[in-house]
Structure 1
Amino acid sequence: MLRSETGHDPDKMAAALHGLRAYQAAPRAPRPAPMPAIARAGRATLLDYGGEGRPVVFVPSLINPPHVLDLLPDVSMLRWLSTQGLRPLLVDWGEPSPGEAGLGIAGHVETLLLPLLETAGRDAAMAGYCLGGTMALAAATIRPPAALALIATPWRFSGFPDEARAGMADIWEQARPTAQAMGLLPVEALQAAFWRLDPRRTVEKFVAFGQSERSPDAIRRFVALEDWANDGAPLTPAAGQELAEAMFGRDDPGEGRWTVGGRTVDPAALACPLLDIISTTDRIVPAASATGAGTRVTLAQGHVGMVVGGRARATLWQTLAEWLTRPHMA
């Protein structure tokens, strides 16, 4: 894949490999201390980031670890929000076992997310990032929160480029036999699918990392983010199948056919205020895949950059803090 994306340019390939080796050899900063778990549902836990004010349950994607929302002590949306009159609570999905092979995305909502929401209280709001937003929408249909904020959330999967949808189908077909034999879908399979959404950017960032002089702080941030991107628990085969076939394949959510807990999930029919934050430059979850419902805020930052980038606090973080503490939330 690296060779194809460098266009058989030996100089560019050498530069990318040099950057990759520099990343691998770079020192690692310790992860922030884990926050206390205040509730558990099966393997999933709800982590408390403290703070005074309304609880907000943050629902991360099943793909990659949840700590992108708490990347480093000074690059942590959740720790910052805890100083802004809110009490962030983070869902940690944990690691599935082969015995959960039949648990799909909808099943994660029904058996793990909804019980955790019950422990947060009826005045709690919710915020979902990426596929976590899709799942938060389903949970909000069954148990309406005080409000729901979506961050780079895919809903209308027909809004993804055709090649991205075909690539997801291809990777699932290749991974299916292994997933069924293991009872688990290695996260690397899905990471490869999302890597295909913006492969040139993946190569270019390692070229830039190897060629530029960076401060220790910039190296620390780059390494922490790449380590996060290359990490993650496996998925259940049923969740991988639902993502590849029902979502990317048939667009069941966007076509009004996705049901969770016996109810059809319809963003326009939610019984709570809805904020949908999208980005015009997001190549992982394109703006065309957004719900089209509720109040829309448009940014111009990448899928991950909007959460941890240099402008994240002034844009995404501040937007969330202001909306979640408005009078309409009373």
Structure 2
Amino acid sequence: MNRQSRPRLLLPPPPAPRIGPRPLPLHLLTHLATLWGSLSVLPLWKKGSLSWKPHLAEPASRLKASLDAAGPDAFARFEHALTAEAGRRHAAFLNGIESYRHHPYRRALPPPPEAWRRGSTRLLDYRTDAGADPAVPVLVIPSLVNRAYILDLTERRSLMRYFAARGLAPFLVDWDVPGPDERDFTLTDYVLDRLEPMLERVAALCGRPPVLVGYCMGGLLALPLAQRRPDSVAGLALLATPFDFAAGRAAVAPLLLALEPVLGAAIDRFGCLPVDMLQALFAALDPGLAARKFTAFAHLKPSSARARDFVALEDWANDGVPLAAAVARECLFDWYGTNAPARGAWQIDSRPVLPEEVRGPTLAVIPGHDRIVPAESALVLAERIAGARVKVVAGGHVGLLTGPRARTDVLAPLVRWIRRRYP
């Protein structure tokens, strides 16, 4: 066969660039405003009319005196250096974003079988051998605002596969995007129409009540389930679960209530709280986080395990889920706005959700450096459940599950605690 007649090898097209980090315009504008804001105050500083925070006044005064003593051209050189540094930092941020958007990693874990489905909600069965001797059943409940696969992120970083490998019978609630059936859902609907039937399904498959493991908002949804169905729940584990929404974040409530007319109108207009609006609210908790993360990522070797782990986590973070309109109002304005759970005013099916009414064994795992759920907020919940055990661990909200010490500090102790529910 001559060279001209050989068939050409058709390679698959490269994957489309990612759209994140979301919302990308907000992250870019925030970084630019931070950098160029430093330049905008230089004329005021040169005139000596800039008011400093008390703890910065003395070093700022020393720096200005040093520049004045260096001669008339010193300030111009300083301005030039500051401008160059601002440009360098923004270029590094952009490089990190581009490296992320074109990274070859794509999540490709085999999906587990479904054990139950209603509407867009699925119950995923992670048991390694459904026909084996009865194992301890575990129903894992994630948040409604992010994809459930944070609990099954990669082969190495998967709470669900870790549970299964250690002989438990784990099931994961996958909420997915609200569809026509969930468009008008409230939190009561999610508990009564989804969680309670799934609880019964797991018990029927395994022959005994499961232990509930709730992560973040999923812990708050597990709480009324344990309160309403004490005989159907063998134990309750709460991972980074908020409850007192004023603890550690006193400034959030007045801001959200002030924004309620605008946010409420947007929720009504879209019929949900869109993903990018939700991501913008999360970004406001730490406006500089995106720049720090992606600038550091730009220096990683793309083929390294650290780079792949970063991309896997960022893909999940940017793969958000909109909240149904009524649920969004409950979470934003009742939870964060008026602190209804801590006040005893949050209700499921007209019944107040009261931690004091939870009687079963309870474990609260609380990250000590959580930007999403301050430790004070989670501690209040544990203190109000009689006999609850508290385990404070290092790390943050997501590192609790995916960080380098997650297995030793969180997963292994959690498995031991779960196993004790069925001695």
Shift of 1:128: 0.4
**Other-structure match for 2:218:** 132
Alignment counterpart, residue 194 of structure 1, candidates 267, 273, 282: 282
Shift of 1:185: 2.1
**Other-structure match for 2:273:** 185
Show CA shifts across 1:259-313 (max 9, x none): 1123221223212111111011011111111112311100111100110111111
Once the two structures are superposed, the pairs formed by residues 97-136 of structure 1 within 5 Å of their partners are 97=179, 100-121=182-203, 122-136=208-222
**Other-structure match for 1:73:** 155
Show CA shifts across 1:48-107 (max 9, x none): 101461110000000110000000112111101111231110001122135644312232
Structure 1, unaligned stretches of length 5 or more? none
Alignment counterpart, residue 373 of structure 2, candidates 285, 289, 309: 285
User: What SS does structure 2 have at the residue aligned with 1:61?
Assistant: coil
Alignment counterpart, residue 16 of structure 1, candidates 80, 88, 93: 93
CA distance in 1, matches of 2:153, 2:194: 24
Structure 1 residues 171, 74: CA separation in 2 closer, same or farther (over 3 Å shift)? farther
Q: Which amino acid aligns with 1:306?
A: L
User: What SS does structure 1 have at the residue aligned with 2:237?
Assistant: strand
User: What SS does structure 1 have at the residue aligned with 2:101?
Assistant: helix
Structure 2, unaligned stretches of length 5 or more? 1-25, 36-85, 129-133
**Other-structure match for 1:306:** 400
Structure 1 residues 171, 109: CA separation in 2 closer, same or farther (over 3 Å shift)? farther
Do the aligned residues in 1 keep the contact of 2:246 with 2:339 (CA within 8 Å)? yes
Structure 1 residues 306, 16: CA separation in 2 closer, same or farther (over 3 Å shift)? same
User: What SS does structure 2 have at the residue aligned with 1:288?
Assistant: helix
Alignment counterpart, residue 46 of structure 1, candidates 87, 105, 123: 123
- Indicate the larger mover: 311-320 or 180-189: 180-189
CA distance in 2, matches of 1:176, 1:71: 33
**Other-structure match for 2:251:** 163
Structure 1 residues 99, 90: CA separation in 2 closer, same or farther (over 3 Å shift)? closer
**Other-structure match for 2:308:** 220
CA distance in 2, matches of 1:206, 1:318: 31
**Other-structure match for 2:60:** none
Structure 1 residues 172, 97: CA separation in 2 closer, same or farther (over 3 Å shift)? farther
**Other-structure match for 2:264:** 176
Q: Which of 1 and 2 has greater Rg?
A: 2
Show CA shifts across 1:175-203 (max 9, x none): 43333233222122112112211222232
Once the two structures are superposed, the pairs formed by residues 56-67 of structure 1 within 5 Å of their partners are 56-67=138-149
**Other-structure match for 2:165:** 83
User: Do residues 210 (structure 1) and 298 (structure 2) align?
Assistant: yes
**Other-structure match for 1:34:** 111
- Indicate the larger mover: 5-14 or 77-86: 5-14
Do the aligned residues in 1 keep the contact of 2:119 with 2:182 (CA within 8 Å)? no
CA distance in 2, matches of 1:248, 1:91: 24
Q: What TM-score, normalized by structure 1, do the two folds share?
A: 0.93
- Indicate the larger mover: 99-108 or 165-174: 165-174
- Indicate the larger mover: 51-60 or 226-235: 51-60
Q: What TM-score, normalized by structure 2, do the two folds share?
A: 0.73
CA distance in 2, matches of 1:27, 1:169: 42
Structure 1 residues 86, 170: CA separation in 2 closer, same or farther (over 3 Å shift)? farther
Structure 1 residues 163, 14: CA separation in 2 closer, same or farther (over 3 Å shift)? farther
Shift of 1:255: 1.0
Shift of 1:117: 0.9
Q: Which amino acid aligns with 2:396?
A: G
- Indicate the larger mover: 142-151 or 9-18: 9-18
Shift of 1:33: 1.1
